[in-house]
């Protein structure tokens, strides 16, 4: 149970996060996504609404919402074609319909920018 709510709610309440908190949260997001990628899983819909905070006093996060995720074949050269994701966080290559697990990296960058600036970059 994550009583801290969504990262989105935290950003809506506080507008942005400190550099220290952003660093701690970003490291956990990157670690979770790295683990997924090693398991050949692409999340494809990373956004602040998909990140839960364990408690109000904690900086521990949990990655959720795997409804758009997919498993790549063991052949890492596979390219995905289906356009899925949330508009603010979707990678350009997803919109072009020719992408791989690296699309999650774009979304992480947008999330980090949003945590620091208090708004999406676009």
The pLDDT of residue 84 is: 96
Domain span including residue 88: 7-68+78-117
Residue 111 is part of a domain; what is its CATH number? Answer: 1.10.510.10
Does residue 109 lie in a domain region? yes
Task: Write out pLDDT tens, residues 14-43.
Answer: 999 999 999 999 999 999 999 999 999 999
Residue whose entry in the numeric block shows the structure tokens 């979770």: 32
The pLDDT of residue 74 is: 76
Active-site residue identified among 45, 65, 100, 104: 45
**Catalytic site residue 9?**
no
Residue whose entry in the numeric block shows the structure tokens 């602040």: 48
Does residue 82 lie in a domain region? yes
The pLDDT of residue 77 is: 77
What predicted TM-score, i.e. pTM, was given to this entire model? Answer: 0.94
The pLDDT of residue 76 is: 66
Does residue 2 lie in a domain region? no
What span, in angstroms and rounded, lies between the C-alpha atoms of 80 and 31? 23
Does residue 20 lie in a domain region? yes
Does residue 122 lie in a domain region? no
Residues of the chain with pLDDT under 70: 76
What sign for the dihedral angle of Cα 93, 94, 98, 102? positive
Q: How many domains does the chain have?
A: 1
Q: Decide: 99 and 69 in contact? Cβ < 8 Å.
A: no
Does residue 1 lie in a domain region? no
């Amino acid at each position: 149970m994550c009583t801290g709510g969504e990262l989105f709610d935290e950003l809506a309440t506080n507008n942005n996060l400190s550099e220290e908190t952003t660093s701690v949260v970003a490291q956990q997001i990157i670690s979770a996504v790295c683990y997924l990628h090693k398991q050949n899983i692409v999340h494809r819909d990373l956004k602040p609404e998909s990140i839960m905070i364990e408690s109000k006093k904690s900086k521990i996060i949990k990655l959720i919402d795997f409804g758009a995720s997919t498993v790549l074949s063991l052949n890492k050269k596979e390219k995905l074609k289906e356009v899925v994701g949330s508009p603010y966080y979707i990678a350009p290559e997803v919109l072009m319909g020719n992408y791989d697990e690296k699309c999650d990296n774009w979304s992480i960058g947008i999330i980090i920018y949003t945590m620091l600036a208090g708004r999406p970059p676009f």
